Structure 1
Amino acid sequence: KGWYHSSNVLTCFYIARVCCDIRLDQSPSQVKIPGHSVKVSCIISGYSMTSHDIHWIRQKPGKGLEWIGRINTGSGTDVIYADSLKGQFTLTEDISTSTQFLEAKSLSSEDSAVYYCARQAH
């Protein structure tokens, strides 16, 4: 069985959590089998979601961080993906709920990782 894992992460090196109450809360961990799809959410609070781009990053077991892509928040269409991962992931957003989404279809065991959303600093 393949598996998929998502973890909560706070941005701004945790300093923002103390000083500004900025939060990026991700959906709970999920386990999926190869061939299935998954959609992870990242709920943003403590600032206006449309003021900072959101990046998605993953870390496979025993490996370094791998950048998946970024979405220019508020546009919904200005999305850039890592060349090596184009077509594997879709980044979307729901401005009304301040939520960003990462969707992966046709999962394989190679997609087993911890997935993070992160706010771009300006």
Structure 2
Amino acid sequence: PSLLNFSLTVRPDATLTINCKVSYSVTDYSTAWIRQPAGKALEWIGVICGGSGNDGNDSFKGRTEITRDNSKSMVYLKLSGLTAEDSAVYYCARDSQWQQRIKRIKNIA
């Protein structure tokens, strides 16, 4: 994915959808969403798998939806119930091994 740098201000409790245009087939690779609040560590939000299925961080349960448009090579993150805690830099990332890595991280935690 190419890097787009922009700032956005939204109202509390609003819903935001972030688009990610990728240069690969979204059916061949998983795409993850990650964020980094200022001065804090990266937080994994969730992933949409190349074949089918999604997985997500329990701390975002009920607030996020990750979808894609195969024909447009687009992946979308919808985040609802926004608060000041959601202020962060958001990233989408390709990883063919993301599912296995996340399972290992979850097992360690």
Q: TM-score, normalised by structure 1?
A: 0.71
Q: Please tell me the residue identity of whatever aligns with 1:112.
A: S
Query: For this pair of structures, how many residues does the alignment match?
Result: 97
Equivalence for 1:55:
32
* C-alpha spacing 1:93/1:27, structure 2 compared with 1 (3 Å): farther
1:44 pairs with one of 5, 11, 22: 22
Partner residue, 1:98: 73
1:70 match: secondary structure: strand
Shift in Å, 1:73: 3.0
Corresponding residue number in structure 2 for 1:20: none
How far residue 121 of structure 1 moved from its aligned partner, in angstroms, is 4.0
SS in 2 for 1:50: coil
Question: TM-score, normalization: structure 2?
Answer: 0.79
Cα displacement (A) at 1:51: 1.1
Determine the C-alpha separation between the residues in 1 that align with 2:5 and 2:74.
11
Matches of residues 1-122 of structure 1 in structure 2 within 5 Å? Answer: 23-24=1-2, 28-45=6-23, 47-75=24-52, 78-122=53-97
Task: Tell me the C-alpha RMSD between the 2 structures.
Answer: 1.8
Residue-by-residue CA offset, 1:67-103 (whole Å, 9 max, x unaligned): 001001353xx01001121112110111111100000
Which runs of 5 or more residues in structure 2 are unaligned?
98-109
